[in-house]
Amino acid sequence: MVTKEELLEEKTVKELKQMARDKSLSGYSKKRKDELVEVIKENYLWDEIKRWPELDLEEIGGEIEKAEETEEPEKEPPIEEVKVDRIFGMRRDLFYILTVVGAAIAGIITVLALYFHFT
């Protein structure tokens, strides 16, 4: 039986780097071929190395058909879900900030009024 290392030795450096990228490995870009082989050997199963990059098109085709069958047509969002970008001509986030600041100022004024009223 062919070992992982033998399978990987048959691949080019470009293919080995792509395999590392596919597994989201880091630090592979400056490695030499023998170093790449070691890193990939630790992160891939024998079967994954053997099949890479060949894909079973029948499997993919079946998955695409299943996805197409289960996809629902897009619906118009209800009116309540439509986002409003501006309120009274201001950006929505600025409007909320001013509302909170205004409420805080109103609270301070109320406290001061009560304080001076009872002293």
pLDDT in tens, 12-67: 999 999 888 888 888 888 999 999 999 999 998 888 888 887 644 444 555 555 55
Whether residue 6 is predicted with pLDDT greater than 60 in this model: the reply is: yes
User: What is the Cα–Cα distance from 6 to 83, expressed in whole angstroms?
Assistant: 57
User: What is the Cα–Cα distance from 50 to 7, expressed in whole angstroms?
Assistant: 7
Residue that has been written with the tokens 């792509």 in this structure = 18
Best CA proximity match to 85, nearest among 97, 73, 93: 93
User: What is the Cα–Cα distance from 68 to 5, expressed in whole angstroms?
Assistant: 40
pTM over 0.75: no
